[in-house]
Amino acid sequence: KAGVTQTPRYLIKTRGQQVTLSCSPISGHRSVSWYQQTPGQGLQFLFEYFSETQRNKGNFPGRFSGRQFSNSRSEMNVSTLELGDSALYLCASSLDRRERELFFGEGSRLTVL
Amino acid sequence: QKEVEQNSGPLSVPEGAIASLNCTYSDRVSQSFFWYRQYSGKSPELIMSIYSNGDKEDGRFTAQLNKASQYVSLLIRDSQPSDSATYLCAVGDWNQFYFGTGTSLTVIP
């Protein structure tokens, strides 16, 4: 059974650019969550999608957005990148909103120069 | 702001010893509790989940939950060098999860 797949794994951008990250959840999992991980802040919740709808959103500016497709795959977008956006972005899937065990992908490491 | 607190460590134990990791949380309505292991440069991996008061054992791992005191712990028996990692505590309510910043564990051969 394939795990959570995130692409790209590594990327380098410059300030002001935008980036789109992709996440394919475990087959059958319908809930996808996104987290930002930095050494100082730990894992910070970005948003959760279920049935193509954003169910919850963390305390991040509107530059961070996402969406989920009918096949449960999800994308997140960060516009007008800032240096502080450099982080590991982790996607996690779970069976549904009641089954709360999260399974993480390997992450997308974003460096903003 | 809901908080999940862990001792950042580093925690060092000799091989074969018991490692004890602790976590406290601020929100009494939290319903689900998890321990994740994260190796350096890797993503978090689920080790244990616990939902009710008491102990839950899985191999060398035991999770302990005390909702009245708002703490959850993880015991690792017969610690191995391969257990060296950062351990993340996660607490969930009906809406989302809150993660601690993790405890770094080093098992010394």
Does the CB of B101 have a partner CB in chain A at under 8 Å?
yes
Q: Which among B2, B14, B3, B8 is positioned nearest to B88, based on CA atoms?
A: B8
* Residues A62-73 pLDDT 10s: 999 999 999 999
Mean pLDDT of chain A: 93
Q: Would you say how long chain A is, in residues?
A: 113
Query: Do the chains contact at B45 and A90, CB–CB below 8 Å?
Result: no
Which strand (E) or helix (H) includes residue A92?
strand A87-94
Q: What is the pLDDT of residue B95?
A: 76
DSSP state of B18: P
Name which of B35, B88, B96, B98 to mutate to probe chain A: the one with the most chain A Cβ atoms within 10 A of its Cβ: B96
Q: What is the pLDDT of residue B1?
A: 65
- Which is more confident, B107 or A2? B107
- Given a cut of 90, is residue A6 above it in pLDDT? yes
pLDDT tens by residue, chain B, 109 residues: 678 999 878 999 999 999 999 999 998 778 899 999 999 989 999 999 999 999 999 999 999 999 999 999 999 999 999 999 999 999 988 778 899 999 999 999 9
Q: How far does B45 lie from chain A, in Å, by closest CA?
A: 7
pLDDT band at A99 (very low <50, low <70, confident <90, very high): low
Q: Which residues of A57-69 are buried (b: 16+ CB within 10 A; e: fewer)?
A: eeebeeebbbebe
The partner residue sitting opposite A101, judged by closest CB among B46, B95, B102, is B46
- Specify burial of residue A79 (Cβ count, 10 A radius: 0-12, 13-18, 19+): middle
In this structure, the strands spanning A5-7 and A19-24 are: antiparallel
- Which is more confident, A96 or B62? B62
* Residues A21-30 pLDDT 10s: 999 999 999 9
Does the CB of B52 have a partner CB in chain A at under 8 Å?
no
> B83: helix, coil or strand?
helix
Task: Determine the Cα–Cα distance for residues B109 and B106; give it in Å rounded to an integer.
Answer: 10
Report cis status (omega within 30 of 0) of the bond before B14. Answer: no
The partner residue sitting opposite A106, judged by closest CB among B43, B46, B99, is B43
Total Cβ atoms within 10 A of residue A30: 18
DSSP for A5-36 reads EEE-SEEEE-TT--EEEEEEPPTT--EEEEEE
Residues sharing a CB contact under 8 Å with residue B16, sequence separation 6 or more, in sequence order: B78, B79
